[in-house]
Amino acid sequence: MSKNKYYLLTGLVGLLVTTALIGSVSSAHWGVNIEKNQEIKQMHQEVRNAFNNNDYNTWQEMMNDKADNLCDKAEEMRENITQENFDKMIEAHELMQDGNKEEAIEIMKELGFGGYGFGFGFGMKPGFRGHMFNK
């Protein structure tokens, strides 16, 4: 086998292994979001069914349920707007700025960020957004 074919084959195997690893980590990391996506797809199908069947009552019920859910999330968000939470977020921000990522992530886990890093918005309590921690 020539050197070029060897390097090409080695690179291809490396790419496949990397892709497999990223895929497995991503699916483990995003497992919760996969479930949520399935719920959303099911809801969209139910809405389409209501439209196709000209079923106002079903659609109305679904929209009222969605509105109630949004009200609950808004209330939870209001409950999380506290001086204590703000102070913890400032502490985590300063730790990130100083390169103490692990300590910052622990604080953010306490606040309900889910420990997946900053800036994505997944696993967070309403009212918290991680984008402020990115440079």
Q: Is residue 134 part of a domain?
A: yes
Residue 62 near residue 45 (C-beta atoms within 8 A): no
Domain-located, residue 76: yes
DSSP conformation class of 126: T
At 85-126, the pLDDT tens digits run: 899 989 999 999 999 999 988 888 888 875 444 443 334 444
Segment 27-86, tens digit of pLDDT: 544 455 788 788 889 988 998 999 999 999 999 999 999 889 888 888 888 888 889 989
Asked whether residue 20 is domain-assigned, the answer is no
* Backbone phi, psi, residue 124, to 5°: -95, 155
Q: pTM of the full predicted structure?
A: 0.46
Is 74 domain-assigned? Answer: yes
- Whether residue 22 is contained in a domain is answered as no
User: What's phi and psi for 128, nearest 5 deg?
Assistant: -110, 135
Query: Per the domain annotation, does 43 fall within a domain?
Result: no
Question: Is 126 part of any domain?
Answer: yes
Side-chain half-sphere exposure of 23, counting CA atoms within 13 A: 6
Domain count, the chain: 1
Please list, in sequence order, all residues whose beta carbon lies within 8 angstroms of the beta carbon of residue 62, skipping any fewer than 6 positions away: 43, 46, 47, 50
| Tokens at 66, concatenated | 């969605």
Domain that holds residue 89: 53-135
In a domain, 104, yes or no: yes
